[in-house]
Amino acid sequence: MTGQIDKRLSELGISLPTPAAPVANYVPAVVTGNYLYISGQLPMKDGKPSLTGTLGNGPSVEEAADAARLCAVNVLAQARAALDGDLDRIVQLVKVVGFVAATPTFGEHPKVVNGASDFFVEALGELGRHARSAVGVASLPFNASVEVEAVFEIS
């Protein structure tokens, strides 16, 4: 199915990947009422994280922002699968939570998660403007540097 959001993605040169399968006892997405909840997505590329390590002791903010963007691409891939291929059912991106693996003294979490936020606005336009949290954590699955989850209002 090709709609307005798919057209915009195509214009941006973005092809959504096949969504990653869950690696534990959870589902990648849940639709309840008019909301779609997407489980945390890592910056997976070719079956492995594109960036690993802890911010403040390894990867740069720019590298991590790029990884957060890839997480957001993966969020949209999960959304497309959950919405039977129809991203135009998205009414609004409501909330984004970005987790950044970081040292205790690292303080640039918002700059990292901007990689995801900027992508969502590029891809969804005004529907991509959202509330957000950027959270520092000691570690993430597979030693990934960043993880992003999202909540959408849908029709």
Which pLDDT does position 65 carry in this prediction? 98
Burial of 111 (0-12, 13-18, 19+ CB in 10 A): middle
How many structural domains does the chain have? 1
How far is it, in rounded angstroms, from Cα 52 to Cα 65? 13
* Residue found under tokens 């990867």: 59
Residue 145 lies in a domain: yes
The two most distant CA atoms of the chain are separated, in Å, by 46
Residue 24 lies in a domain: no
Average of pLDDT values for 7-19?
A: 95
Asked if residue 11 has pLDDT above 80, the reply is yes
Residue 117 lies in a domain: yes
pLDDT for 84-105, tens place per residue? 999 999 999 999 999 999 999 9
Domain CATH code at residue 77: 3.30.1330.40
Which pLDDT does position 2 carry in this prediction? 75
Task: Residue 53: give the domain boundaries.
Answer: 4-15+29-154
